[in-house]
């Protein structure tokens, strides 16, 4: 037997998957996180921060810098950093400084800079624990079909950001969203992060953004993971950060509601995703460019 309301899922799929062609892609629900609104015709939102919590000092300084940039350019900002990285290429890769310690640092960022925070969760137990601290629970791409995890995240009542698996078609994400909606939680974001293109490569199909937006939920473009080269460096993933700018510009022009950017003050020394994080020094230039494009798109 289903552990959740199957009828709710079937109803959701019928209304959104099979009738989506009749929907105007601008008719997206608005997800509110405090004073930040994602979707509809609201301004582009930036979700940004280092890939993983490495230490308190770096995280607080990075959050301060991003907050300063986004305030100057009047761009809504959600801080992102994973308190734990469970999906690593090698068993020897860094995972966490300690769950409790890392979550305490996220809580400090939230208090000190008055910004919402987002982190990944990998199991139902993690969803319940992280929800006590963060505003947005993120489902990693590799886990986007894990029913129990999606249910647990939905039941927390928090906003849930589901990353589209590299192996999943964009319209298949309607079913992932339906699992959360069946819990009574419709505060859902859907994120594009590239699709497998042969071995050790990803490609971003910009058609994915309007297709996922037909679900009725806001869409996010994960720019930095879109330039990742999975497993390309033998015991770790590679990346092509030189394509961050053009992919970000294209995604905003295609109508995404938020950009997800992992950024680090010294990417080559990062403990996770060192090959694809954006150098923090370049973030302000990117924010200026995408804000100008978003303003133009929203006027149409």
Which pLDDT does position 22 carry in this prediction? 35
Read off the pLDDT of residues 285-299 as tens digits, 9 standing for 90 and up.
Answer: 999 999 999 999 998
Which pLDDT does position 299 carry in this prediction? 86
Read off the pLDDT of residues 227-249 as tens digits, 9 standing for 90 and up.
Answer: 988 876 667 777 899 999 999 99
The residues spanned by each domain of the chain are 6-299
3-9 contacts at long range (C-beta below 8 A, 24 or more positions apart): 3/147, 3/148, 3/151, 4/147, 4/151, 4/179, 4/182, 4/183, 5/182, 6/182, 8/178, 8/181, 8/182, 9/175, 9/178, 9/179, 9/181, 9/182
For the chain, give the mean pLDDT.
Answer: 90
pLDDT at 20 over 90: no
Rounded to a whole number of angstroms, the distance between the first and last alpha carbons of the chain is 48
Read off the pLDDT of residues 101-128 as tens digits, 9 standing for 90 and up.
Answer: 999 999 999 999 999 999 999 999 999 9
pLDDT at 32 over 60: yes
Task: Return the CATH number of the domain spanning residue range 6-299.
Answer: 3.20.20.70
């Amino acid at each position: 037997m289903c552990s959740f309301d199957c009828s709710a899922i079937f109803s959701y799929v019928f209304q959104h998957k099979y009738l989506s062609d009749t929907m105007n892609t601008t008719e997206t629900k608005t997800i509110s996180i405090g004073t930040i609104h994602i979707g509809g015709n609201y301004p582009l939102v930036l979700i940004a921060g280092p890939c993983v919590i490495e230490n308190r000092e770096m995280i607080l300084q990075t959050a301060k810098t991003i907050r300063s940039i986004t305030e100057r350019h009047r761009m809504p900002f959600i801080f992102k950093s994973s308190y734990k990285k469970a999906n690593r290429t090698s068993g020897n890769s860094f995972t966490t400084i300690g769950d409790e310690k890392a979550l305490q640092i996220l809580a400090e960022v939230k208090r000190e800079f008055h910004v919402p925070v987002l982190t990944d969760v990998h199991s139902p137990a993690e969803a319940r624990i992280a929800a006590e601290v963060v505003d947005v629970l993120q489902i990693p791409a590799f886990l986007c079909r894990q029913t129990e995890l999606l249910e647990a995240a939905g039941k927390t009542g928090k906003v849930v950001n589901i990353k589209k698996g590299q192996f999943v078609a964009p319209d298949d994400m309607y079913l992932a969203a339906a699992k959360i909606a069946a819990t009574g939680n419709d505060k859902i974001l859907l994120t594009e992060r590239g699709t497998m293109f042969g071995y050790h490569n990803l490609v971003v199909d910009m058609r994915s953004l309007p297709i996922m937006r037909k679900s009725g939920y806001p869409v996010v473009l994960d720019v930095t993971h879109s330039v990742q080269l999975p497993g390309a460096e033998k015991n770790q993933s590679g990346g092509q950060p030189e394509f961050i700018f053009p992919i970000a510009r294209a995604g905003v022009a295609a109508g995404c509601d938020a950009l997800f950017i992992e950024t680090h003050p010294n990417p080559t020394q990062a403990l996770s995703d060192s090959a694809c994080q954006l150098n923090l020094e370049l973030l302000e230039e990117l924010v200026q460019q995408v804000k100008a494009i978003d303003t133009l798109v929203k006027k149409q």
